Homo-oligomer: A and B are copies of this chain.
Amino acid sequence: MKVSARNIFKGRVDALKNGAVNSEVRIALPGGDALVAIITLASVQSLELAVGKEVIALVKAPWVMLMTEHADIRLSARNCLTGTVKAIELGAVNAEVTLSLAGGTQIAAVVTREAVAELGLKPGVTATAVIKASNIILGVPA
């Protein structure tokens, strides 16, 4: 598989909570990082997800929000992943920012150049990537 999404996380299901329609899937990433995804119960069944199963989690970079100095706020988004800015690539209007999490996972976000300036983002700075659980697509080997 080749995919346009800039974020392809390989991990293992380590918790699975089924509701009537949706399911919450917790994915352990190598190094101790983790992601929570919400997908339909129908997808859990068709992908035969179970605790311990290997999965990939796909997230397009424009679906990732970045935050700094957030000690004063709590968010509804299930994934708030704090790391260090590793690289910034500037376009005319947008910028692609890569974070490194503690466990080694890297996350790419596309944000505006204006946001990069406002947040004072540059390599080495601490920042948090915010990803809504419903914006994660899961995949399993066919």
Contacts and interface: CB of A to CB of B under 8 A. Distances in A.
A33 to B, nearest CB: 20
A15 interface: no
Interface residues of A, number: 64
Contacts of A77: 137
Interface string A69-96: 1111111111000000000010111101
Interface string A44-66: 10110000000010101111011
Contact of A4 (B19, B20, B67, B75): B67
Contacts of A70: 1-3
A43 B43 CA distance: 23
A102 interface: no
Number of copies: 3
19 contacts: A1-B68, A1-B73, A2-B69, A2-B70, A3-B119, A3-B130, A4-B66, A4-B116, A6-B115, A19-B21, A21-B21, A40-B76, A56-B73, A58-B65, A61-B112, A75-B138, A89-B93, A96-B112, A132-B137
